[in-house]
Structure 1
Amino acid sequence: MALNLTPRFRRLSSASSLRRRRRTGHSEPFHATQLWNNIIHALQTQVDLRQQRRHWKMHTDCFTGADAVDVVLSHLMQNVYFSSNDISRLNAARLCQALMDHKVFYPVGSRLFGKEQEMMFEDRSSSLYKFPDSYTLPGAGKDQEMENLLCHERSVPKRQCPKLDKVTSLNPVVMEAHDRRIEELLKMINLHPSISPNLKRKRPTTLLSKKVVEDVWKQITLLQLLHLIHLPILDSILESPLKVERRRRSQFNRQTDLIISNTFLDREVSKSLNLPYTDEWFVAAVDCLEHFPDELIVHASELLSQIINDREVAETHKRVLFETIARHYSQSRESLLCERYLAIHAGIIELLESGKMGQALEATQLCIGLLEPSRREELHRLLSFMAVAAAPGACNLQKQNTNRTVIRRTFTKAIIQNQSLSKTQAETLVIFLMDNHTDVFKIPDSLLHMVRKKLLLLQEGGDPDASTGFAFCQQITQKEFDEQKIKVTMEQLQQLAQDISQNNNISEKERNRLLQEFRKHHPLVFLQYFSNII
């Protein structure tokens, strides 16, 4: 053990280790490090950086937690070195947590209720993050980590932090230690990268574009929905790219208008809403308020600031926040569950009425996956607040009704509203969503496996229209098709001749005329039919 600490034996140990890696099938000495860097590169190049508001303060060049998980999950699914058992949204979120812990990015606007929130990564569109100037690999020295952290926090320009590859490329022993620590880190979050000699020749050189990945997700999602729910027509679900782009631009413009802040909002409203309570009820309520119009936030701040000597201050604060949220969602606006997915909603309700809860949950997960990210996040925040506020032990919202009844009546139209559904059906779906709000936003494992299979097929240059595991009809050969075409055509023509000859609703003259026309165009069928009945 002591001898291995000397430089000479460290070099020998490193060389022998590299030889062992090559014998076991590794195509390169520091594979785990390369995987880690590829994930970081994908994250830095594919997330959307925008100006956004968090806790009533503006932040520039931010990306959301949900977007980060989408990018990381897409990268993992296209990586042949991870097995299908490793791929899940939860594992992608755990990997994002590890990236944040090692200063690849950091949270912004994490101050709520006058306190710093716990440094936990959140897979949500309301959680914002930023990239620092540099980062350090797991296991690097503490001095280097502190230097990297200070580089993006200091306002005075400093020298650029040295890049990792320049620092450690000359020391294979240090790189091997980093590689080993990264490999251990990936295993801790249930990611087990592996390399076999057979994968070296099939290794994809490029990743698919974000647009292609999104199209594959939607395609496989609809195929799974068709196996769970009878959808008579897909015209309302399959939109043209032009309509999708118009809706995306209108939503972005509307969100931009809502987050225009001013001095009063930054200084006064934040003071009123930084309540000295940190229980789950207040956290869920503030999450709902985050993207409300400014006038509602100002009004809520004025009401909260007037509450001073109330005996039950916390209860009064909760009622004020509830009324603010209820007022916002009682206004005339499009329901969160898009009306164009009515056929899917009706199918889910039918499954619920039949007692097929498992299929209804999976169909709901697929349906929510079709929503735009902003709408999905807003629905997530509202359902979370509804679940907390409807609990029996929560703040009593009305004396004459239970919290569950008040919540159901208040927010049903905000979530789903369509004349084709009865009030009972709409409330049944809303209660199901509220009771299962922690599960309906998860991705079914079967969907993950099918999407991963399709993405790897496309990376290898496979046919985009190839089967993905679903079979709605059986493919036949051209010869079988021609035989079936002739057989079915003859059967239908004979049926037509029979209908004409046995139709008593027309005159004898008209019947003879039609039979003569039939004989003129289909003489063989005419002779065959009348020879059989004679």
Structure 2
Amino acid sequence: MESHVITPGPYRATKLWNEVTKLFRAGMPLKKHRQHFKVYSNCFTATSAVDWLHELLRNNSNFGPEVTRHQTVQLLKKFLKNHVIEDVKGRWGFEDLEDSSQLYRFPSTSPLKPIPVGPQGVRKRSVSLKDREGFFKLRGSKKFDHEIQENISPAVEDSTTDTHSEENSRDITEEDIQDIWKNVTLTHLQKLLGLPSLDDVLNPTQIDSCFIVYNMTKVNKHGVVTLDDKTDDLPHWVLSAMKCLANWPKFDSNQPSYPGFERDVFKTVSDYFYSLPQPLLTFQYYELFVNVLGLLQPALERLAVEALQLCTLLLPPASRRKLQLLLRMMSRMSQNVDMPRLHDVIGTRTLMVQTFSRCVLRCEEEVDLDELLATRLLSFLMDHHQEILQVPVYLRNAVEDHIAYLRSQTRHSGIGSGVAMPTYSFCRQISTQEFEEQKLSVSQAAIADLLESILKDKAMSVKEKKKKLKLFQKEYPDIYFRRFPTTESEVKLFADKPKIKPPLLISIKKTKAFSIRN
């Protein structure tokens, strides 16, 4: 039942499907059941499977506590369709599974999904940062909010000397500036995700640098994108309905008011977003956002926020604006105690997430875990939308410093001409082995910080702390051993707990017993 983390990389959704399949097959209790006067061994009821799988998903960091029982039933139907399970008579491939006492079992072989490969049977090797020359890092007084003080420059494919000679011989054009925005954004995003290349999770050639510049510069005082072309904006009637729900019960007095009015308004908004031709995060960036989900761990939450800041800058301005306004409405509605119930059973927050998850994220070709992944991402977006959708100042500073440096190089032909030291300096190219070692050290440091947070948590009971440490030792034995190299060092951690005083009768000096016959 422990949480397994699938690290960012290509085909993460497929890897997650295989991971859930393996956990379900390995952990689901199998029993002997009687049905229609016949006994079946090593099987389980649909209800038992829903109970067990629902608990697994809620406690798994890849999916989280927002997973509902209904979503779990839908996943079991997909398990039946893909022959992860079958009924006790060996039938599968249909989706009539219900939350009932119907019996199911596991087939003799586990149908894990193959990881897609290229046409030659191997993945095409992408040109990564560690293979490129001429990337630079920031050396200045400004610090990034998350204390990562480096930014990588655009890659230089040709000879470094030739490129700089050509760059110094001409002025910086508007096209150059847009390329700088794009490359600084992507290379910093690559570092946050810890990937050797972004080519495996998106197509950089399809990214429009104009969108990044527009989303960074054309915003109102609330940080919401303003559109020059109003035909791409939300229709007036949708915007009016969203304002009505966000500001409930302070709405326009000219609007009608009757029992159930708020439910009709909510349906109007949801119908509009369902009618859009593609989700707000666009089909193009599905794989990218699924990879950001790999950062949604307690110790990496800050990195996840910053990665989503950059990812949402890539969106078309109209999509980013719709996403901003939708998240603002959802957040206000879920926190509004005066908001009437919009559903007879489901709470407002859960209803928000379930209703709009597929309007925000889904794959163009249906993926089996789409709904669960979209729910996980939308919950995080809703909780952190103000920070995620604000303009990242550090990115603007990095781009402006880079442009200033290139212009200073254009004006001056050599370093020895009295020019002040540039803000950016070229760093040496590192080997593949060094790159992998640095990537490993960063991830291990984050995991080590997670261990320390468990140890220092004073609100956690000793029993719960021991349980978490046992799971941590199982998942990361090397890091655990470095923290507790000996048994004594581990025992010492709990040595300060107060000792229980011995019973009073034991400490009292024994006195002569009295006999009832005396």
TM-score, normalised to structure 1, is: 0.37
RCO higher in 1 or 2 (8 Å CA, sep ≥ 6)? 2
Give the structure with the larger helix fraction. 1
For the pair shown, which has the larger CA radius of gyration, 1 or 2? 1
